Structure 1
């Protein structure tokens, strides 16, 4: 149960923040957002607030923000439709009822001849006296079809009516918010747990190791190696690893007293490389500083971003196998393992996953945010947008390929963890 809750909180949070980015910038651009969904498939819970339906759906594999002007969002009144209408105090249509033959209070009926629900906002047709009449339509009018109400979307509130910059920012905001979430999580970790100082302090010495034989002890602070100043554990580690079987002199601060030790790192093979080891252990001291926590959040986000790009590079060059990729099942099992070591580790894992989701969505692949941004870039160079049908077909093919990849990765996860 604890693992399930951890997975729902972690995965739900990073998906929520991703979609929140799209949602906020769509709203700022004046785009009508029809639905803000977490998950896919059948609706479990739905609440309508204002003009947006907020839903939680069955399959926890992502989420979406459905904006007016999408391919499936067209609302048309064809000639011959018989509609019911309710008017506001300006004699504008505020509600259009389809498939309704029952007379409701204050409802007028009309057989549609022509209609424009996007730009000029009017409906023309024959009333019950067979007289040709025209009514203006309110900008916030709703269409009720079989009990389901949908707000009309004037063209200036549709996604494709906005400037290239606003459309691009609305799409880019999803991955951007994943990086922002990562920064926030690392900042919280820095404030609660403290920030590692990476001081070159020896946490422990392994028995019968070169360091133990030389006389080094727990608590020693290494200040120099072979006369070169050492300021961090990373510098100390690199100097030792690069010197297998080479004698070195370590200057050490021990309880305020200067000491000097001479030793020779033994040779070991790590990842098929020969490295030096002297047998010391390290645990970074932690410093609690709210101001430094902010810079720590940004630095950790940057560090993990570069690390993930490095892994992507290895994937492209074949140094990293597709079999090592994980889908939802793999993420669940990893979260289950991380949850055993406390909520700080779960938060750290969530930050890394958020960065990963942001980067994956920025890849220039069809159906991903990066693929849509690629089309926007082409539009900026060409001076006009790509034909929507052609772009839609490319994204559809991309979705199919991504679904196939997801099935393959999930099957690999199942085989890895359950067989």
Structure 2
């Protein structure tokens, strides 16, 4: 039950932000929005405000914004297809952009509450850093003459240099000072250490927002690197569908709220990147057609474009079904459902 409830909340939030991006940009561009829907299938709730109908539907696996003239020709000047190509591209890309903004917000909330690891340090008495001359409050600026920008970067560099002499440049009272430090190693892992701890900053709004932006870019980069490695065959292809994501969200919820928020941010970034791929039926695919329209100086035949998007949508649905069966097989979902049913008796 915890998995079900948290999954509905998380995916509902992700879908809402994505579709709200399309919706609000359309409204700001004076495009007539006929329908805003969260979920698919039978309607649970319907509210009409002015010209727009708002729906909550039974299946929380998506949503949509239905705009006037989006899929058909009309003479209405407020119709989507009668707006300039750049305006339409803004509407299309606003959804993925909102997913990235949501990730920034969630990561900022985490860092605001739990704190941000900085490049300022405290030293452990008797360890290599103190012996070399590094003091509490020093800010590590560079290692081996290469500038470092985060605590994770510092840890990564030092961890890969056990029993080596490294040059550490610190910033102290506005002055740059360099020290030669001989690293030690953890007994079990043999990772390099010098005996320093990060200074954690809590409840800083500006730093938290900066961390959210930086971490969102970093996660996006790692996802794209991983994807390129899968395409080139340098990494194992491992795709998780809705059932698998429900399981991941449920496990995160058991750990704690911050882990749940982090997983939600990670999924939101994945959703934003996925929708930007130049695949028909996705936002990225639609943006490609609009870019071609800008380059050609005239719109592409609406029926031909609609057919291409339909084929793309059908292929995506086929892929989703394949991944769904993969999830069911790996999670042994049938036995889990039997156990749940027996408990309910």
TM-score bracket for this pair, using the shorter chain length? 0.7 to 0.9
Match of 1:375 in 2: 289
- Aligned CA distance change for structure 1 residues 282 and 337 (closer, same or farther; 3 Å): farther
Number of residue-to-residue matches in the alignment: 320
> Is residue 405 of structure 1 aligned with residue 323 of structure 2?
no
Match of 1:240 in 2: 158
Deviation, structure 1 residue 227: 8.9
Deviation, structure 1 residue 187: 2.4
SS at match of 1:54: strand
- Aligned CA distance change for structure 1 residues 204 and 30 (closer, same or farther; 3 Å): farther
- Aligned CA distance change for structure 1 residues 3 and 262 (closer, same or farther; 3 Å): same
**Native 8 Å contact 2:113 2:202 kept in 1:** no
- For 1:318 and 1:8, the matched residues in 2 are separated by 34
**Native 8 Å contact 2:16 2:38 kept in 1:** yes
> Is residue 310 of structure 1 aligned with residue 225 of structure 2?
yes
- Please list the CA deviations of residues 111-139 of structure 1 after superposition, one character each: whole Å capped at 9, or x if unmatched: xxxxxxx54xxxxxxxxxxxxxxxxxxxx
Deviation, structure 1 residue 62: 0.9
- For 1:35 and 1:315, the matched residues in 2 are separated by 38
SS at match of 1:386: coil
Match of 2:332 in 1: 418
1:290 to 205, 210, 214: 205
- For 2:168 and 2:103, the matched residues in 1 are separated by 38
Q: Which stretch of the first structure deviates more once superposed, 222-231 or 176-185? A: 222-231
Match of 2:11 in 1: 11
- Aligned CA distance change for structure 1 residues 199 and 385 (closer, same or farther; 3 Å): same
- For 2:282 and 2:144, the matched residues in 1 are separated by 53
2:91 to 153, 170, 178: 170
Q: Which stretch of the first structure deviates more once superposed, 159-168 or 237-246? A: 237-246
Deviation, structure 1 residue 297: 2.1
**Native 8 Å contact 1:200 1:221 kept in 2:** yes
- Please list the CA deviations of residues 137-183 of structure 1 after superposition, one character each: whole Å capped at 9, or x if unmatched: xxxxxxxxxxxxxxxxxx21211111111111111111111111122
Q: Give the unaligned 5+ runs of structure 1.
A: 75-117, 120-154, 206-210, 253-258, 270-274
- For 1:357 and 1:265, the matched residues in 2 are separated by 40
Match of 2:173 in 1: none
Q: Aligned runs of 1:187-336 on 2, under 5 Å?
A: 187-201=108-122, 233-234=151-152, 236-244=154-162, 246=164, 264-265=184-185, 276-278=191-193, 285-322=200-237, 324-336=238-250
- Aligned CA distance change for structure 1 residues 396 and 56 (closer, same or farther; 3 Å): same
> Is residue 41 of structure 1 aligned with residue 41 of structure 2?
yes
RMSD: 3.7
- Aligned CA distance change for structure 1 residues 349 and 266 (closer, same or farther; 3 Å): closer
- Aligned CA distance change for structure 1 residues 221 and 263 (closer, same or farther; 3 Å): farther
Match of 2:69 in 1: 69
**Native 8 Å contact 1:200 1:233 kept in 2:** no
Normalised to the residue count of structure 2, the TM-score between the two structures is: 0.79
**Native 8 Å contact 1:247 1:265 kept in 2:** no
Deviation, structure 1 residue 277: 3.9
Match of 1:179 in 2: 100
